[in-house]
Amino acid sequence: TATATATATATATATATATATATATATATATATATATATATATATAGEAGSIKMEC
């Protein structure tokens, strides 16, 4: 019984750790994607502003 409990506890801990790692990875990926998107948008906006100034 003690062994079964210890095994169940270890399995639950490993599962929780894997879940936390996956969540952290997903969050980091989402953050990186959002940052890249924001940078691309800012670059495009700056480029458009430059084009408009040149046309004027």
Q: Which residue has the tokens 């997903």?
A: 26
Full domain range(s) for residue 39: 1-56
Domain count, the chain: 1
Question: What pTM does this model have?
Answer: 0.65
- pLDDT tens-digit readout, 34-44: 999 999 999 99
Q: Distance (Å, rounded) from C-alpha 46 to C-alpha 3?
A: 64
Largest CA distance in the chain: 82
Q: Distance (Å, rounded) from C-alpha 47 to C-alpha 44?
A: 5
- pLDDT tens-digit readout, 1-56: 999 999 999 999 999 999 999 999 999 999 999 999 999 999 998 888 777 666 65
Evaluated on CA atoms 25, 29, 31, 32, the torsion sign reads positive
